Chain A
Amino acid sequence: MPQVTLTVNGKQHTVEVEGRTLLVELLREKLGLTGTHVGCDTSQCGACVVHMNGEAIKSCTILALQVDGAQVKTIEGLAAADGTLHPMQEMFREHHALQCGFCTPGMVMTAVDLVNAHPDGLTEKQIRDGLEGNLCRCTGYHNIVKAIAAAWPLMHGKSMPAAAE
């Protein structure tokens, strides 16, 4: 069986996988990182979103072998080493942006990438458009949008430009 070597949440792993093994299967089944979820089979729901080399990807839509040599961050690796929540996690909690919690890991990982990718500000419309690839059935998105807007100033260390509000 072929081998893949990758770094997940700062720790290097070398794992034997079948050619057809998906990254999400590697994470959940081989590495025991069950925070990343599978909610569909058509790359629509985004419950499986992780970061690969700093960008959000759907881990159900990439083969484990394609990730050889990459840096992967999952929801388990987002909080600080001392356990302090990432500002996005903290704002999701503060604004009640999760209910059943199943879409949450993917939603948070997408949201972090969305905020990182918009250093000049983020409008509500940009947030809603940016969540295109993530489904939530519980919240109606209202509080997710609020949480992401609230995390932006914390992540960028400045207040949201007025034009973006």
Chain B
Amino acid sequence: MAFDGIGASVRRREDARFLRGRGNYVDDMNRPGQVYAVIKRADRPHAKIAGIDTAAAAKAPGVLAVYVGSDMAAENIGGLPCGWQIHNKDGSPMAEPPHPVLAVGKVRHVGDPVAVVIAETKQQAKDAAELLSIDYQDLPVVATMQDALKPGAALVHDDAAGNLCYDWHLGDKTVVDDVFAKAAKVVKLELTNNRLVPNAMEPRAAVGECDPSSGDYTLYTTSQNPHVIRLLMGAFVLHIPENKLRVVAPDVGGGFGSKIYHYAEEAIVTWAAGKLKRPIKWTAERNESFITDAHGRDHVTTAEMALDAAGNFQALRVSTQANMGAYLSTFAPCIPTYLYATLLAGVYKTPLVYVEVKAVFTNTVPVDAYRGAGRPEATFLLERLVDVIAHDTGKDRVALRRQNFIPPDAFPYQTPVALQYDSGNYQATLDAALKTADFAGFESRRAAAKARGKLRGIGVSTYIEACGIAPSAVVGSLGARAGLYECANIRVHPTGSVTVYTGAHSHGQGHETTLAQLVVDQLGVPFEQVEIVHGDTDKIPFGMGTYGSRSLAVGGTAMVKAMDKIIAKGKKIAAHLMEASVDDIEFKDNKFTVAGTDKTKSLTEISLAAYVPHNYPIEELEPGLDETAFYDPKNFTFPAGCHVCEVEVDMETGMPEVVSFVAVDDVGRVINPMIVEGQVQGGVAQGVGQALLENAVYNENGQLVSGSFMDYTMPRAWDLPNIKVATEVTLCTHNPLGVKGCGEVGAIGSPPAVINAIVDALRDYNVRHLDMPATAPKLWAIMQSARPAMAAE
């Protein structure tokens, strides 16, 4: 029998249904009596709603109802809640303006929902929505952070003065300023982190229904975390208690963060289903996804490093403006603070860091976590800054990194920005990546490329991230309004097969395979006899879902803890059946054995005894073999690694091409190498997309001009190279599996590797920095405007 425990590249069991077209995504579901919702959205970024005439739409064929914001307000429906509260420098709480489900009084971004039309067919609902007449009075628009922060700028929310959500900081400014005043050298870099649209391939969808006999609600939704949606929507928006509300997130076609949040449409279809007693389906069209899914990134930053004469990093000083968009999405406030600023030590022993972050409201789509969330922004800043320091001081960029690395014997390592890294070896991943990429042989490849009319460059990024989120008490003290533990229920059935109910959610990660491998490893149950169930609040005791690369580190550990309980109970049953002391029972390879004897009982025999307890220690032990564990992590996990990118820029056209990409990542213990490799490759693709192609662009009128796949450049197969992936392992020290997480490393480590390579390619033009995306027109313009420096070649 093939080995399919921890460490095996087991082929994915979920593929069988996906490859046959038998996936079960939300839009594939059709409930008896189902009707359709279409949402009328603001076509302008900022306006007063003077009136809405719904009469014609309400009379249109097939229409069952038309609802507007005041209809929901009249029923005391709450606004969409924000899950994280940040405090200002002065200790006061952030501005937290209301976020109505359907706009009330004003619209604040293109795409803001204004009305919903519900009809027998989708086409009837669409036709009727065209008949809605909305009387808007346009208001001045702030489309960028720069505009929003100008004195006297129009306010997105009347109660958020200066369009400021918060003005937050971390570190001791006085101490850091003092180091800068005395530094041998200060290197300063201004950069932007471009705004991105997550664009999971499955558009969001929701089906709400209300059982007319019980009054129970069910919401089927494209979510990464159904229990969180049940909590947020039930408790804060619709006031439905958990026992009357079921949330199901079935097969979900990609998330990347954008499906974490509680969105208006989920509340609309659930609420309206209760009123109409008909199941209601809403499915986004892609143009709606662009203007309603939370966007990512969008930072403007000034960063400075103080150095001593030898090039040792002495202090980092950072000032960042972070775009929140028009409303606070579920986790928006924590992204540019506790997921960004706390990572600014990077892999370096910089002793002092001071960061200040202004979060800004604008008339744009809300911004929240997108793959990496805060950590790509921190990594881009650091890894660009290190290259710029090398540029400005003439030091070798690799040697400069090595010189400032936290050494492998320094763990656990307390950073100056709150985090304590438990393990890592940054030299090892750097060495391995440079070797695989043949860094040493680069110059000959550059010369050969030049002969072909191409400027070739190589870039290095040595990154770290904090994931496996997160210890509840820690995040609670930082403003989180939720705990971030995970739950697992392990059910050993009477005949020995196992069902795992996990609060983690798979939307491409392959949990049905990887998590089953954990059971194979710990309980010795054959892979085929293990079932993983996720995504249904009626089946799974509880869960916080999947984001922040937490499924294995937190969810997997909860499974280990529950299986520990299974084994502990099994030992008691085995001791009874084999008339031995519990202390003498050992469990290994699916068998309970009396130590030092050949007396043995299989897990199946034990589970059968547990469910048919004729000969059973019934006085001391309950029947059944079904255990639940909640696991709250002790710390974040800290994957790290080195990405090396090689590019060529066409000297005639400026067209950049990634010709080689090597990622060597330390993600801790690897459960399924094939899946880890795929996760890294996918993350790198999104990072290359950010670096070279993708950009969410608003014009001064507040219109998203890159609002479709014809305008927003998604990476296609021809844009990407083969992506070589390898791992180096240091184990996480605080979870029993030793795992760190692999979902985000690709998107975190890769953008600066690409841009460092582009800047290196343009070294003859003395380019110091380039903002993303590094498109052909941008590179062509540089080559036209700058005379090549007289390089040695």
Contact = CB atoms under 8 A, between A and B. Distances in A.
A35 B508 contact: no
Interface in B7-24: 11-12, 14-23
B510 A40 contact: no
B311 interface: no
A45 interface: yes
Given A34-B21, A138-B682, A139-B682, A93 B11 contact: yes
Contact of B681 (A42, A89, A135, A143): A143
Interface string B229-269: 00000000000000000000001111010000000000000
A41 B682 contact: no
Contacts of B287: 41
A13 interface: no
A89 B18 CA distance: 10
Interface in A110-164: 125, 127-129, 131-132, 134-145
Interface residues on A, range: 35 or more
B123 A35 contact: no
B285 A102 contact: no
Interface string A31-48: 001111111111011010
Contacts of A102: 23, 25, 200-202, 253-254
B82 interface: no
A6 interface: no
Contact of A141 (B199, B507, B675, B717): B717
Interface stretch (B68-76, B554-562, B707-715, B784-792): B707-715
A100 B252 contact: yes
A2 to B, nearest CB: 15
B20 A89 contact: yes
A1 to B, nearest CB: 12
Tell me which of B15, B685, B717 has the highest count of chain A C-beta atoms within 10 A of its own C-beta: B717
B685 A96 contact: no
Tell me which of A18, A40, A103 has the highest count of chain B C-beta atoms within 10 A of its own C-beta: A40
Interface in A9-66: 18, 20, 28, 33-42, 44-45, 47
A47 B147 CA distance: 39
A42 B714 CA distance: 13
Contacts of B16: 93
A34 B26 CA distance: 11
A144 B722 CA distance: 11
Given A40-B709, A96-B678, A142-B723, A132 B508 contact: no
A131 B682 CA distance: 16
Interface residues on B, range: 35 or more
Tell me which of B21, B199, B681, B682 has the highest count of chain A C-beta atoms within 10 A of its own C-beta: B21
B286 A42 contact: yes
B19 A93 contact: yes
A140 B682 contact: yes
B690 interface: no
Nearest to B16: A93
A99 B253 CA distance: 9
A125 B657 CA distance: 13
A99 B506 CA distance: 10
12 contacts: A39-B286, A75-B19, A78-B20, A79-B20, A96-B677, A98-B15, A99-B682, A100-B251, A101-B253, A102-B201, A131-B716, A137-B682
Interface of B: 11-12, 14-23, 25, 27-28, 123, 199-203, 251-254, 256, 285-287, 507-510, 674-675, 677-679, 681-686, 708-710, 714-718, 720, 722-723, 746
Given A41-B286, A100-B251, A101-B14, 14 more contacts: A35-B22, A37-B202, A42-B709, A45-B201, A45-B709, A76-B22, A96-B11, A96-B674, A99-B510, A131-B718, A140-B684, A141-B717, A142-B722, A145-B722
